[in-house]
Every structure is written in structure tokens, then in C-alpha cells.
Amino acid sequence: MTRTIALIWSAAWRALLVLLAIEIAVVSLMRYVTGGDTPPPPVAANAFAWPFLFIHTLSAVIALLVGPLQFVRRIRTRRPGFHRAMGKIYLLACAVAAPSGFILALGTSAGPIAGTGFAVSALLLPVFAWLGWRAAIERRFDDHREWMLRAWALIAAAITLRLMLPFSGLVLGLKFYPAYRGIAWLSWLTNLALVETWIRRGRMSPVHEARLSPA
């Protein structure tokens, strides 16, 4: 019974994460790529909104949607060619999203605290992605998976940010800009903390220990 509940819980939160990623992707594309929706005033006020908002949104959405596919074990084992092809697309998307995100961080209308938070995230993303790529080339596949999880945690800050903003205003009653400055850091630091916890728990699992033990 306990194992069944655990499996249901695991499937539920994974499905919720994917649904949130799809919802954020659709809304972002409508606001910043297709022009079908009006961007929020603080985002539209970014000094470098054009063309970098378009570039960043498109590349980040690709990374946000492709990332979860890379972590599905069945795809990795049964369709390794597909996994590698999607991995190249994911790396390219990260390579574009990071510098465009850094430029947008410099132009944010929320001030230097928020700008620094977004900039640090944009600087860490290519580092994590490169370390993951390097680990795959060297066939260190556990390290590869861990670094790619960290990279996607930064990309998924788009989800966390959009969950934290309404919570800070509607529940905590905080004003937008003070909350936004803190969330510029908390959105990705929270994700990294959750991923690190997940990684460390995985390292201590019996399956991981058996894989590392000598034959």
C-alpha cells in the first residue's frame, strides 16, 4: 500500500510539473512572441525588451518543454537517438536563453537587487549545461543527469516565479516590487535546493549504491 501511494504521489507531482510548464510556455509565447496578450508593465518597461524578450522567451520555452523529456528513463533507454537529438536542442536553447536573459537582467525596471538575482541565474545556466554535456561526453552519466537537472531547475524558475508572485500579493499582502526583488532570487534558489535534495536522496538509494558497487 505504501509503495502504491508513493507511486501515485510521484506520478501526480510529475504530471503537475509538466502541466505547469505547458501553461507557462503557452502564456509566455502569447505575451512575448505572438503578441496575442499584453505583457505586464514591469516586463514591458525593460530597457532591452526588444528584441531580447522575444529571443529569451522563445529559447527558454523550448528548454522548459524539452527538459522533462530528457529525464524520462524509458525514453533514454529505448530511444537513445531521440534523447541525444533532444539534448542538442536543449543545450542550444540554454545557450541562447542564458545570454539573452542576462541582458534582460541588466535592463530590468525592478532595480539592481532583482537584476542581480536574474543575472546570477543566467550566468549559472550555461555553466551547469556545459558541465552536464561534458559529463555525457566522458560517459559519466550519473553526473550528466545531475547537472542537467540543475540546469533545468534554473529554467523552471519561470514556473516558480509565477507561483510565488500571486502568493506574495494575495496571501502575504506584499507590494509588487519588494516581492519581485526577493522572488528574483527565491525562484531559482528554491528550485536548486529542491533538486539538490532530490539528487542527494537518489545517491543514498539502494539502486544507486548497487550501480556503483564493483561487479
Q: What is the pLDDT of residue 212?
A: 42
Q: How many domains does the chain have?
A: 1
Classify residue 42: in a domain, yes or no.
yes
Q: How far apart are CA 118 and CA 104, in angstroms?
A: 8
Classify residue 33: in a domain, yes or no.
yes
Classify residue 130: in a domain, yes or no.
yes
The model's pTM = 0.91
Classify residue 54: in a domain, yes or no.
yes
Classify residue 179: in a domain, yes or no.
yes
Asked whether the beta carbons of 163 and 197 are under 8 A apart, the reply is no
Peptide bond into 41 cis (omega under 30): no
- Supply 1's cell numbers: 500500500
Classify residue 127: in a domain, yes or no.
yes
What are the pLDDT digits (tens) for 89-131? 999 999 999 999 999 999 999 999 999 999 999 999 999 999 9
| Chain-centre distance for alpha carbon 105 | 16
Longest distance between any two alpha carbons in the chain, whole Å: 60
Asked whether the beta carbons of 25 and 59 are under 8 A apart, the reply is no
Q: How far apart are CA 116 and CA 195, in angstroms?
A: 22
Q: What is the pLDDT of residue 42?
A: 86
Q: What is the pLDDT of residue 8?
A: 82
Q: What is the pLDDT of residue 209?
A: 44
- Supply 133's cell numbers: 554535456
Task: Give the range of the structural domain holding residue 35, as residue numbers without chain letter.
Answer: 17-212
pLDDT along the chain (215 residues), means of 10: 76 89 94 88 92 96 95 91 96 98 97 97 98 97 96 97 94 94 97 95 64 39
Classify residue 10: in a domain, yes or no.
no
**Counting beta carbons within 10 angstroms of the beta carbon of residue 20, is it exposed (0 to 12), middle (13 to 18) or buried (19 or more)?**
middle
**Counting beta carbons within 10 angstroms of the beta carbon of residue 81, is it exposed (0 to 12), middle (13 to 18) or buried (19 or more)?**
exposed
Q: What is the pLDDT of residue 104?
A: 98
Classify residue 114: in a domain, yes or no.
yes
Give the Cα-Cα-Cα angle 157, 162, 163 (nearest 5 degrees): 95
> Following CA atoms 25, 30, 31, 33 in sequence, which dihedral angle do they give, to the nearest 10 degrees?
90
Q: What is the pLDDT of residue 211?
A: 47
Per DSSP, 39 falls in state P
- Supply 3's cell numbers: 509503495
